[in-house]
Structure 1
Amino acid sequence: MAVDIAIIGGTGVYDPAMLDDVQVREIKTPYGVVSLQVGRYRGQEIAFLARHGAGHSVPPHLVNYRGNIWALKKLGVSQIIATTAVGSLNEKMRPNELVVPDQFLDFTKGRPSTFFEGGDSGVIHTDFTNPYCHRLCKLLMTAAYGLNVPTHEGGVYVCTEGPRFETPAEIRMFRQLGGDLVGMTSIPEAVLAREAEMCYATLSIVTNYAAGISPNNLTHMEVVDAMADNIEKLRRVLFRAIELIEAQVDCECQHALAEFGGFKL
């Protein structure tokens, strides 16, 4: 059975809990060997990739984003749901609530962010009018509503370079630009998934209010503790959404490079 669906686990989501018969796969890519796991959920094979490695050993700016997406594509995956821990810039998006973003602002600086850097791969400009898969976003919302889990539909995810947290001045700027959430990992992950013609959506958990909004200084342990408190809720929504996903479904995301002849491994 082909592996069509993948979970990319972010901070606090380091193991493929709820999957059976889990096996480690080592996938060779042009960007190095990527280790991931494949297991079964209700008879369906699911790939699981820990974005930060075991025990959060890889900081956000050093994640092998290109290798990760290439490995999933090579495995046969066409649909990805990723989890992210985020700070909130929007008082209506409160700590411990879930958000399904639908837009992003990219404030990363030094990360390789495309598969197309000229040479044999050419130069391709990819449309990002709808940066996250609308179909998968709807499925995540349907799953959350069905489980009565408070979840916000839509939001602007501001991606920063990290690994430091943002300054209050930066947060004020992001708010003025329309940002709702701030995190360090959605970009270039979402970009690369679209370039690879894969459906991609993010399920974000708000762990705290951002700097200058929070009454306290920010700490990494605050984020880790909030994820621990909310991990079961996040997993329930995640796996309910997977139950709703139609395997091998056709979607416009999977034809993003049609005018260029499609994405080629």
Structure 2
Amino acid sequence: MNGPDMPSADIAFIGGSGTFSINFPEDLSLKGIEIIEKDLVLETPYGRSPKLKYFRIPAEEGDSRTVITCKMHGWRSEIPRAQASLQLFWTLHQAGVKKVISEGGVGSLNLLLDLRDIVIPTDFIDYSTRKDLKVVGDNLLIMRQPICPQIHQALLSSALSRPLNRIFARGVYVVTEGYRFESPAEVSVLRSWGGDIVGQSLSPEVYLSRDIGACFGGLYTVVNYAEGVVREWRHEDLKDIFYQDAPQVGEIILDALRKISLTQECGCMQFRKPTLLEEE
């Protein structure tokens, strides 16, 4: 299925480790959710898409909105993460998505951050090698305002309404390649760059969103201390957070999906300009 037959959607939610252990959104308590379609796999120029789910959710004010969601697309072991990102974002572009939300678990680089703290970052450093990726590809992507202020405010408001964790309204997310964790020496370098959290689920999403003409924002839970920060992290802590905190993270995301304005009056698209390098 593609092209005219592609179901349209207003918003995309890319589920990460924070909601991986639940069936999103069915396991959550919000009334009025309508599942339109699930386990939908689409053919793309980059291979078959991840399994997609479409659902309709009542807006906080006014009409409902349609959401397309998938489990973290990089977790299909047979698909390289870069290819999976292209498959997903080609699909989001065809569906007409204008808002993208991501969530995930991260390590703390900042000594002030503790386990279960929630960070809604405002900037990023891409330390990965997945950089030459594009779906549309005919625009100059300016990353002066990488995080959409409308999405950021919706996530922040939703998180603050559930004060079970400390909420940090700003921070720098350093993106690493994975699948491994970082070494103590690498962590020392990332901290010296001004990074607050480290993980794998903000890039390429942040710039592929701009590539397809969509705004981006994300919410991330501290699930471990980076090597050499505070104390050695424990595998048991990760397991507990992934399984115990998933409903709370899911509720925050659902509430934000209801609040986000579907307009793009945030100014993000002024940072997407026609390329100057096309041949005449």
TM over 0.5: yes
Matches within 5 A, 1:36-55: 36-42=52-58, 43-52=64-73
Match of residue 25, structure 2, among 17, 20, 27: 17
What is the CA-CA distance between 1:169 and the residue it aligns to?
Answer: 0.8
Greater CA drift, 231-240 or 244-253: 244-253
Matches within 5 A, 1:80-159: 80-109=100-129, 111=130, 113-115=132-134, 121=137, 124-149=139-164, 150-159=166-175
Matches within 5 A, 1:1-265: 2-14=8-20, 15-18=23-26, 19-24=33-38, 25-34=40-49, 35-42=51-58, 43-52=64-73, 56-58=75-77, 62=81, 64-109=84-129, 111=130, 113-115=132-134, 121=137, 124-149=139-164, 150-216=166-232, 219=235, 222-260=237-275
What is the CA-CA distance between 1:144 and the residue it aligns to?
Answer: 1.6
Q: May I ask how many residue pairs the two structures share in their alignment?
A: 253
Question: CA 1:126 to 1:258, structure 2 compared with 1: closer, same or farther past 3 Å?
Answer: closer
* Residue identity in the other structure for 2:91: A
Question: CA 1:193 to 1:59, structure 2 compared with 1: closer, same or farther past 3 Å?
Answer: farther
Quote the sequence identity (%). Answer: 27
Greater CA drift, 193-202 or 60-69: 60-69
Distance across 2 between alignment mates of 1:214 and 1:105: 22
Contact 1:61-1:162 at 8 Å conserved across structures: no
Distance across 1 between alignment mates of 2:199 and 2:206: 13
Structure 1 runs of 4+ aligned residues shifted over 4 Å read none
Deviations 1:52-94, CA, capped at 9 Å, x for gaps? 47xx443996251122112112112110110011000112221
Question: CA 1:146 to 1:121, structure 2 compared with 1: closer, same or farther past 3 Å?
Answer: closer
TM-score (norm 1): 0.85
Question: CA 1:74 to 1:251, structure 2 compared with 1: closer, same or farther past 3 Å?
Answer: farther
TM-score (norm 2): 0.81
Q: Give structure 2 stretches of 5+ with no counterpart.
A: 1-6, 27-32, 59-63
Contact 1:12-1:224 at 8 Å conserved across structures: no
Root-mean-square deviation over aligned CA pairs: 2.6
What is the CA-CA distance between 1:218 and the residue it aligns to?
Answer: 5.3
What is the CA-CA distance between 1:212 and the residue it aligns to?
Answer: 1.3
Deviations 1:88-108, CA, capped at 9 Å, x for gaps? 011222111111011111111
Contact 1:11-1:224 at 8 Å conserved across structures: no
Distance across 1 between alignment mates of 2:245 and 2:263: 30
Deviations 1:148-170, CA, capped at 9 Å, x for gaps? 34310111111111111000111
Distance across 2 between alignment mates of 1:115 and 1:57: 20
Q: Give structure 1 stretches of 5+ with no counterpart.
A: none
Contact 2:11-2:99 at 8 Å conserved across structures: yes
Greater CA drift, 223-232 or 75-84: 223-232
* Residue identity in the other structure for 1:30: P
